[in-house]
């Protein structure tokens, strides 16, 4: 019996803690892990495809989806709404595929409180030190110092919510952290709630036992 229900994998971290790299490695390790495609009210950028990069909605359409409970989580960011539609996520996990979410602690909390909350696995990545986090942001060479300072403040805001996650890993070694993530995921896939065929199997055992 190898059928299973997929997981909603929430991977959160402050900017610069290695989340994007580790998410990519997880997907390379297991192609049954898919990214959640978010819905947004912002306009598509050049080359973006509706349903592939984002589900592009009008503001009225987005609010209607929220009102009918069709968003697992949502937020208003820099003048636009963003959210995670429930329908595609439910279809994926019922098909045995894990859905990976790159969201902050507020989105993570909403998903844990949603109708799919029992199938959620949340993991937070901590940097080895604040100095190392700052070094990683600077080494990107993308932002001015004032922007980096704002990112550092936002990073600390994220870190302050570390205790709201199922697992917390200090990412001081990328390869070691990757192996820990794989171990966590492998074990969580075996939770009773993720094995829908167990009840039928136990009933079959009972029938066999009583038929002796």
Give the model confidence (pLDDT) of 101-155 as tens digits: 988 899 999 999 999 999 999 999 999 999 998 998 888 777 788 888 888 998 9
pLDDT grade, residue 16 (50/70/90)? confident
Residue 91 has pLDDT above 60, yes or no: yes
Give dist(CA 98, CA 36) in Å, integer: 9
84 annotated to a ligand binding site: no
Distance CA 198, CA 193 (A): 9
pLDDT of residue 137: 85
- What rounded mean pLDDT belongs to the chain? 93
20 is in an annotated binding site: yes
Confidence (pLDDT) at 199: 93
Residue 164 labeled ligand binder: no
pLDDT at 151 (0 to 100): 84
Q: What percent of the chain has pLDDT over 90?
A: 83
- Tens of pLDDT, residue by residue over 44-89, are 999 999 999 999 999 999 999 999 999 999 999 889 999 999 999 9
* pLDDT band at residue 2 using 50, 70 and 90 as cut-offs: low
**Which residues have CB under 8 Å from 155's CB, separation 6+?**
14, 15, 16, 17, 133
pLDDT exceeds cutoff 60 at 1: no
Q: Looking at residues 150-171, what average pLDDT do you find?
A: 94
pLDDT at 162 over 70: yes
Is 154 annotated in a binding site? The answer is: no
13 marked ligand binding residue: yes
Q: What is the pTM of this model?
A: 0.87
pLDDT in tens, 177-208: 999 999 999 999 999 999 999 999 999 999 99
Is 61 labelled as part of a ligand binding site?
Answer: no
Nearest Cα residue to 132 out of 5, 44, 17: 17
User: Residue 150 has what pLDDT?
Assistant: 87
- Please give the pLDDT value at position 80: 95
What are the structural domains, with CATH classification, of the chain? 8-36+97-210 (3.40.50.300)
């Amino acid at each position: 019996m190898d059928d299973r229900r997929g997981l909603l994998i929430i991977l959160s971290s402050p900017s610069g803690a290695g989340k994007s790299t580790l998410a990519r490695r997880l997907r390379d390790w297991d192609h049954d892990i898919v990214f959640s495609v978010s819905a947004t009210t912002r306009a598509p950028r050049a080359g973006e495809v509706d349903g592939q990069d984002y589900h592009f909605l009008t503001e009225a359409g987005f609010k209607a989806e929220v009102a009918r409970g069709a968003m697992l989580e949502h937020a208003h960011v820099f003048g636009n709404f963003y959210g995670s539609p429930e329908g595609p996520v439910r279809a994926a996990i019922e098909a045995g595929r894990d859905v990976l979410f790159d969201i902050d602690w507020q989105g993570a909390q909403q998903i844990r409180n949603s109708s799919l909350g029992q199938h959620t696995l949340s993991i937070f990545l901590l940097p080895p030190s604040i100095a190392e986090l700052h070094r990683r942001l600077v080494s990107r060479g993308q932002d001015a110092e004032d922007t980096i300072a704002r990112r550092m403040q936002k990073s600390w805001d994220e870190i302050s919510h570390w205790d709201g996650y199922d697992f917390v890993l200090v990412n001081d070694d990328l390869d070691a952290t990757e192996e820990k993530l794989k171990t966590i995921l492998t074990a969580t896939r075996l939770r009773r709630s993720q094995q829908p065929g167990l009840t039928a199997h136990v009933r079959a055992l009972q029938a066999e036992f009583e038929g002796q």
